[in-house]
């Protein structure tokens, strides 16, 4: 994910992050946890080539040959960031949480012009699916409704990752 850096508080002290977003398809988003590694690793590595084409230049992720331990440590890092309100990674699941189907990231703006960078992905087999279309519609609505951002940027939607990388640092 984005490289480690000192993160200034970017959310008001009163804010409590959502713990679940129900989607009209029967799926839901919830904060990812370290214990999700056995579901996350197959989702990420099964879609690695496409995910690298999206996030590789910006985040250097996902690395080729990522191991179970590397992914576990990455998820532990995300879980800790969520607890500290530094950034958020929500996993996309069906009701049984038998398979991780994608992720939504909410991060402090990595480039000028926004107060949050939001992006998301689904596993390869769901690209172009109804679930992806619902996520594309619901995530921006959710962010605008339930998060305290005034200028969220939807990277990969409002602008390409290449355009994002060309923006000046905040």
* 124-152: pLDDT as tens digits: 999 999 999 999 999 999 999 999 999 99
Q: In angstroms, rounded to a whole number, what is the distance separating the alpha carbons of residues 59 and 143? A: 22
**Domain 21-166 CATH (choose: 3.30.460.10, 3.40.50.10310, 3.40.630.30, 3.40.50.40):** 3.40.630.30
Dihedral angle over CA of 32, 33, 34, 38, nearest 10: -60
Structure tokens at 46: 């099964």
* 72-106: pLDDT as tens digits: 999 999 999 999 999 999 999 999 999 999 999 99
- Tell me, what's the pLDDT at 5? 46
- Do 105 and 51 contact (CB within 8 A), yes or no? no
The residue extents of the domains of the chain are 21-166
- Tell me, what's the pLDDT at 3? 47
Q: In angstroms, rounded to a whole number, what is the distance separating the alpha carbons of residues 97 and 39? A: 9
pTM over 0.85: yes
- Tell me, what's the pLDDT at 2? 47
- Tell me, what's the pLDDT at 8? 56
């Amino acid at each position: 994910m984005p490289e480690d850096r000192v993160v200034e508080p970017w959310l008001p002290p009163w804010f409590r992050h959502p713990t679940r977003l129900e989607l009209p398809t029967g799926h839901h988003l919830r904060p990812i946890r370290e214990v999700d590694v056995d579901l996350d690793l197959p989702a990420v590595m099964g879609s690695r080539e496409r995910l690298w084409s999206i996030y590789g230049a910006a985040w250097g992720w996902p690395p080729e040959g990522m191991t179970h331990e590397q992914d576990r440590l990455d998820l532990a890092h995300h879980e800790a960031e969520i607890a500290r309100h530094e950034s958020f990674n929500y996993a996309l699941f069906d009701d049984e949480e038998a398979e991780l189907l994608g992720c939504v990231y909410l991060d402090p703006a990595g480039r000028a012009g926004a107060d949050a960078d939001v992006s998301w992905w689904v596993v390869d087999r769901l690209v172009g699916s109804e679930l992806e279309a619902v996520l594309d519609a619901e995530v921006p609505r959710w962010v605008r409704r339930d998060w305290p951002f005034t200028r969220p940027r939807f990277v990969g939607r409002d602008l390409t990752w290449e355009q994002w990388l060309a923006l000046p640092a905040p």
